[in-house]
Amino acid sequence: MNISTKMIVSNSDMIKNYKNCREMAEKLGKIFILKNNQPDAVLFSIAEYERVAVFLEYLESIEEKDIIDFAESLPKEGIRKSYSIDQLRHDLK
């Protein structure tokens, strides 16, 4: 995952300027909050949260055995193929 420096704020900035940070999260989808120069939290816009939540709910519905079988079927070396959600759904059926 590539994280733009525009998406990073310090914990103290978050505390002092919550409204600005919330607006930045709305614009960028999410911002990463650092505490003592270490990742501490992520603030999602509601739209980004809803997008991610749908994906997480889908993953929670998949049986662990099916995930393991699918992961084992992926190439271990070389160029790996990217899969869309629709491809994953199809391959796991």
Query: 88 and 55 share a domain?
Result: yes
Query: 64 and 39 share a domain?
Result: no
Mean per-residue pLDDT, 3-28 = 93
| pLDDT score of 1 more than 90 | no
Query: 52 and 78 share a domain?
Result: yes
- pLDDT digits 0-9 by tens, 30-74: 999 999 989 999 999 999 999 999 988 888 888 888 888 888 887
| pLDDT for the residue 55 | 86
Average pLDDT along the chain: 85
Domains of the chain: total: 2
Query: 22 and 40 share a domain?
Result: yes
**Domain extent for 84:** 48-92
Cβ neighbours of residue 35 closer than 8 Å, sequence gap 6 or more: 10, 11, 41
Task: Return the structure tokens found at 3.
Answer: 């994280």
Distance CA 83, CA 87 (A): 6
Paired strand residues for 44: 30
| pLDDT for the residue 78 | 66
